[in-house]
Amino acid sequence: MKKEQYLGVDVSPLNYEEIIDDIRQRIEAGKQSTIIAVNPEKVMAANNNSDLKNLINDSTYQIPDGVGIILASKLKKGNIRSRVTGVDMMERLIRFAAEEDRKVFLYGAKEEVVVKAKKNLEEKYQGLNIVGYENGYVQDQEALLKKINDSEAELLFVAMGSPKQELWIQENKPKLAVKVFQGVGGSFDVFAG
Ligand code: UDP
């Protein structure tokens, strides 16, 4: 996968299906994957902040969430032709998890929001196995990490806004057996309706 660069920030050229296929192979190979949504605002912010730039570039997939990236790719004669949004990527992964029996954990948002999002997703996707959840304001991180590992979750969605969620993923990924991490911003609020 040849990534495109915008002000030194990597962007993945893969579409939803290609990412899912790649992730399936990486799970089977026992590799961890991280997904981060990229838009022009994040590219500009990363241009002045090398930590943020490294955080983005160290991710497995920098999805082009934002028309500005599509325009920039067109102007540069790149290959990115359609958006891959954070919320749609999460929903595709949820469908993948339901179809291929992969366990899911939801972390983030207010208690009532994460509970409602879980319920709505389970109603929409037959066979979906959400093995645990936690709101995004929990204090005991040690207990949270244990809860996630004990649940044997393979996909973890973190909804705490950016870059907080990505920093959390970067810090805790080595301590977790989870295979797929996605920072999803306000997506739980969307699924909660
Ligand atoms: N949030 C959280 N913990 C925090 C701060 C925020 O769980 O410490 C949640 C908040 O309840 C909301 C989401 O993170 O559900 C923030 O979404 P926002 O739309 O601000 O994120 P963006 O998509 O803009 O990155």
- 71: Cα separation from own chain's centroid: 23
Q: Does residue 95 carry a pLDDT above 90?
A: yes
Which atom of ligand 1 approaches the CA of 188 most closely?
Answer: 15
Cα–Cα distance measured from residue 32 to residue 46, given in angstroms and rounded to the nearest whole number? 24
Distance 185 CA to ligand 1 centre (A): 5
pLDDT in tens, 60-89: 999 999 999 999 999 999 999 999 999 999
**For residue 27, which of 85, 104, 80 has the smallest C-alpha distance?**
104
**Ligand 1 contacts CB of residue 116 (under 6 A):** no
- ipTM exceeding 0.90, yes/no: yes
Tell me the pTM.
0.97
**Ligand 1 contacts CB of residue 168 (under 6 A):** no
Write down all domains in the chain, each with its CATH number in brackets: 4-192 (3.40.50)
pLDDT in tens, 17-73: 999 999 999 999 999 999 999 999 999 999 999 999 999 999 999 999 999 999 999
